[in-house]
Structure 1
Amino acid sequence: MIASNYQVPHSLETEQSVIGSLLIDPNSDNAQRVFSVLKPEDFYGTHHKIIFEKMRSMASKHQPIDILTVSDGLKATGSEGATGGLGYLAEIAKNTPSAANVIHYSKKIKEYASERYAIEKINEATRLLIEPSTLSFGEKMEFVQKLVTDASENGVTGRKSGLKNMAELLPEWFEGVENMFNNPDQFIGLKTGIKPLDDMLAPKFVVRGSLFVIGARPKMGKTTVLTEMAKNVSDDGMTVALFSMEMSNQQLVERMVSQKSGLNSDMFYGGTEDDFEWALLGKAISDLSEKPNIWVDDTAGMTLEHIQSECRKLKRKVGKIGFIGVDYLTLMKAGKADRNDIAYGEITKGLKQLAKELDTTVVLLTQLNRKLEDRTNKRPMPSDSRDTGQIEQDCDYWMGIYKDSVYNDKADKTLTELIVRLNRHGKAGTAFVDQKGLCLFDTDKTHAMARADMATANRNTPNHKDF
């Protein structure tokens, strides 16, 4: 708890300077920026909260702002006595020599507000550890990390957890809409970098705060799709965190280098005398080294709590995570439950909450049931998920991967279907890519559909694989 000889971070003089600047020059660009960035609760003084809230409301309604109009507005709401009324407003305006530094003053107010919020969260964490409860130490520490993340996020974005009134959210939402119009690339969802898939998911792409599940049988290329996304997102300058229980860190590095260079990974074992290939390999290693924004973790028997903890630490370290990849669900160490689907359901719920908490996307790979291979049409469905019946409820996107060549000798060897079965934010459909080695390549949809139809037509001819 805060010692008695310390004061909660604040500065009434700085708050007076902001209000005075707004009274002097309420129509400037700087004033409009202050009205959009600061919130009444950012002010420490209760009287300043009330005054700023009134001025902000007047600004949103395009009403004139000066000492008299603000005083009349406070009087009309019965707040004159609590704020000092006309006399206090006149004193503030008189003691503010210029409105030129209003942005600097408003940033200081925002910093003090974030520090107070952090203190509130730390005190809450202290109470959680001190007060008796039925929670285990691990559960308590998870809550503590969540509280620290809330405080850190507030310092960057100004967001606070907890109930919010719709009237408070609407101006924030509209400001976001205006920002999207002015800077569309900055506010759209996650682009996977796989063009046919992005074209289908446009214009929202993969909305932040979402759980994106990729399901497939073995040999379909789940991990290839995941690492291709990681490469593309990191190329755009965003941080990626990959958690793999199937592959080691070295194997993940090998895949990333292969995809970055376009080289077949066999070269890394047999070598080459081709100078051009050595040049491609050197450039790929250099590019990945110069952009150290891909983080990997191959911890065995990984738990949901481990992933949550590592991602929260990474978020505090780098500020923003482009996406989090988990390979794959049924290799994770699940908690105790009566049935596997309930245990894994707790993991999918936790990953969905993590995506929302960190304002990112979690891409989760999952193995599908062998039973789907008994069907004539073996293209995957969400219901094919093994021991993970709750996935359909928790995920925002569900995409299956299908290669007909796994089942049909006469099928196109590289054609791969990315089948979006569920999209809570847009349309579903199928995107086509060519999968060659560990790399994905765009392909024309019309041509790809013709190749897929030809493979289907050949399915019942002799010599196809019998699974």
Structure 2
Amino acid sequence: MENTVPTTDLETGNEDLPAYRSMPHNLDAERDLLGAILINNEAAAKVNAFLKPEHFFEGVHARIYEAVSILIDRGEIADPVTLKSYFDRDEALADIGGAQYLARLAASATTIINAENYGRIIYDLALRRELINLGEDIVNTAYDSELTETSSTQIENAERQLFALAETGSHEGGLSPVRNAVSQAVKSIEEAFQRDGNLVGVTTGLRDMDAKLGGLHNSDLLILAGRPSMGKTSLATNICYNAAKAHKNSDGKEGAAVAFFSLEMSAEQLVGRILAEATEISSEKLRRGDLTDDEFANRLVPQSAMLAELPLFIDDTPAISIAALRTRARRLKRSHGLGLIVVDYLQLMKGSGRTDSRVQEISEVTQGLKAVAKELDIPVIALSQLSRQVESRDDKRPQLSDLRESGSIEQDADVVMFVYREEYYEGRKEPTEGTPEHIEWQERMARVHNMAEVIIGKQRHGPIGNVRLQFQSEFTRFGDLALDQYLPEHHE
């Protein structure tokens, strides 16, 4: 190992020279691994899932590994002969022997059996170097920080960098070749192609919503807004339940592990809603315990047992800050995996406390939620209130301008959706019973009974428009609408 360093000048024996330490590295492991790959390209398959060029300590070795990876990805052979033209004019390689160095690497190759072990050594040492750099940054920042940068801000930044290092092997972002993004995009398209329904993202469990959105996309901030009693929380819990159930039933291939941050309702109340949906027993009966023996034994008990096993995590801390939410989400992703966050609702969240107005605070919250979505590479759904101006219009269907503190919310969101139930408003217009107007009202109520709309007012990745759903208020459940084209044919 070349990661130990002398404390004296070993060549001169001068013990008066100051002690020094070099960054952890192992050039022998780098040489042996590259040699193994040059002899047998199949060795690259054992390490390319985790080992990147930047993990090599020696810059020449990083460039050789990158060139080898490019050739192998093209389906070509990577050996000293095919690589020679890449490095004929490489001055750094010339300093250590030129193209002949490639032949010496091949001659000193380890076996393909040991390739992964050598790759792990190189990767581990690279992470140690990153930890040292990160530690130096933390120390220097703590010693010499600006007045506006508090200790809690420094802790938050340090935790973010540590999380990024643990997740990706690098604590800092930067420019990367477009081929990395191309590879990820093609992978997502391939996964969507192979899935039922051609979903790119996490399923909502609702056919028409999935078709309109293509699922919930990673790194997206989705706003789900509506006036009180429209069913925002019900729709959010339905999506959480469907995504978590799909994740469990598919062994992690579909759906997602879900974190639900409920700032308004307790965890017990939230679970009560989910159980009402799962058991098809009304929320009111569940609250009162007004159940038959059959409902309790054959519906409540098995469904509650199944719900207890789902990858669904609830945090009902009131007025949680964006910093606390980010910290808890990171920890959950590290410990259990995390594929979807839901926040109910964003106006109840706290910012840093350094802003002068509520609009600025909401802007800080929405920007923070978008940053969480990007950092963890998962979709984040944030519920939002709508302003009262909706109630003053004849057409109560919401629009983007109805969002409270709408400027920042609309700007930061990738998708903005509104929940609208005409039945709610129509039910409050009941005329005097027995009049012609009452008969007309009953006809209108029959047309909109158990109907709901999700209005997609903004979508970066696709079209806007309306999705019609069924809403069963007694079960607080949204479901697919059985339109004529989905019904089975009837034969005489």
Q: Is the 8 A contact 1:214 1:363 kept in 2?
A: yes
- The change in CA–CA distance for 1:49 and 1:82 in structure 2 (over 3 A counts) is farther
Residues 27-176 of structure 1 correspond to what in structure 2 (within 5 A)? 28=42, 30-31=43-44, 34=47, 38-59=51-72, 64-96=77-109, 98-134=111-147, 135-155=149-169, 161-165=172-176, 168-174=177-183, 176=185
* 1:425 Cα deviation after fit: 0.7
* Cα pair distance change 1:7/1:234, threshold 3 Å: farther
Counterpart of 2:204? 192
1:447-462 aligned within 5 A = none
AA at the equivalent of 2:265: M
In the alignment, what sits opposite 1:461?
Answer: none
CA deviations 1:253-273 (Å, max 9, x no partner) are: 212222232321222213212
TM-superposed deviation, 1:95? 2.3
Deviates more, 1:172-181 or 1:190-199: 172-181
Moved more, 373-382 or 221-230: 373-382
CA contact 1:245–1:332 (8 Å) conserved in 2: yes
CA 1:389 to 1:54, structure 2 compared with 1: closer, same or farther past 3 Å?
Answer: closer
Q: Is 1:401 paired with 2:419?
A: yes
* Residues 281-320 of structure 1: CA deviation (Å, up to 9, x unaligned): 11111112223x21111212222222122112222222x3
> For residue 462 of structure 1, what is the aligned residue in structure 2?
none
Q: Work out the CA distance in 2 between the residues paired with 1:140 and 1:98.
A: 45
- Of 353-362 and 52-61, deviating more is 52-61
Q: TM-score, normalised by structure 1?
A: 0.85
Which residue in 2 is equivalent to 1:347? 365
**8 Å Cα contact 2:347-2:362 kept in structure 1:** yes
> Map of 1:295-310 to 2, 5 A cutoff?
295-310=313-328
DSSP 3-state at the match of 2:225: strand
In 2: Cα distance, 1:82 partner to 1:260 partner: 69
Contact 1:50 1:83 (8 Å CA) reproduced? no
Structure 2 distance, partners of 1:110, 1:176, is: 25
Give the C-alpha shift of residue 222 in structure 1: 0.5
Greater Cα radius of gyration, structure 1 or 2: 2
Identify the range of structure 1 (254-263 vs 215-224) with the bigger mean alpha-carbon deviation.
254-263
- How big is the shift at 1:240? 1.1
The aligned counterpart of 2:240 is 230
Superposition pairs for residues 278-293 of structure 1, below 5 Å? Answer: 278-291=297-310, 293=311
Q: Within 1, Cα distance between the matches of 2:466 and 2:199? A: 25
Q: Which residue of 2 aligns with 1:357?
A: 375
Are residue 206 (structure 1) and residue 216 (structure 2) matched? yes
Q: Give the 3 Å change call, closer, same or farther, for CA 200–263 of structure 1 in structure 2.
A: same
Counterpart residue type for residue 37 of structure 2: L
Structure 2 Cα separation of the partners of residues 66 and 447 of structure 1: 59
- Structure 2 distance, partners of 1:301, 1:11, is 49
Q: In structure 1, what is the Cα distance between the partners aligned to 2:39 and 2:188?
A: 27
- How far did residue 67 of structure 1 move? 2.3
Match of 2:341 among 312, 324, 331: 324
CA distance in 2, matches of 1:85, 1:447: 70
Shift in alpha-carbon separation, 1:415–1:17, aligned structure 2, 3 A:
same
In 2 relative to 1, CA 109–182 (structure 1 residues): closer, same or farther, beyond 3 Å? farther
Letter in 1 for 2:25: H
One-letter code of the match for 1:244?
S
The letter of the residue matching 1:435 is: F
Per the alignment, in what secondary structure is the counterpart of residue 407 of structure 1? helix
Q: Would you say 1:267 and 2:274 are equivalent positions?
A: no
Report the RMSD for the aligned CA atoms in angstroms: 2.8
Q: Is the 8 A contact 1:47 1:83 kept in 2?
A: no
The whole-number CA distance in structure 2 between the counterparts of 1:83 and 1:121 is: 31
Distance 1:272 1:359, change over 3 A: same
Q: Is the 1:51–1:83 contact (alpha carbons within 8 Å) kept by the matching residues of 2? A: no
1:447 Cα offset (Å): 8.4
State how far apart, in whole Å, the 2-side matches of 1:431 and 1:15 are: 56
Instruction: Identify the match of residue 468 of structure 2 among 411, 432, 437.
Output: 432
Go from structure 1 to structure 2 and tell me whether the alpha carbon gap of 1:120 and 1:256 turns closer, same or farther (over 3 Å shift): farther
Q: CA deviation at 1:367?
A: 0.9
Q: Which of the residues 374, 395, 398 maps onto 1:377?
A: 395
Structure 1 partner of 2:329: 311
**Which structure 1 segments of 5+ residues have no match?**
449-467
Q: Give unmatched runs, 5+ long, in structure 2.
A: 6-18, 248-255, 428-440, 487-492
Change (3 A) 1:142 1:60: same
Identify if the C-alpha distance between structure 1 residues 276 and 254 changes in structure 2 by more than 3 Å, giving closer, same or farther: closer
Cα drift, residue 9 of structure 1? 4.2
Query: Is the 1:231–1:259 contact (alpha carbons within 8 Å) kept by the matching residues of 2?
Result: no
Name the structure 2 match of 1:414: 450
Q: Which amino acid aligns with 1:230?
A: C
User: How far 1:22 moved relative to its partner?
Assistant: 1.9
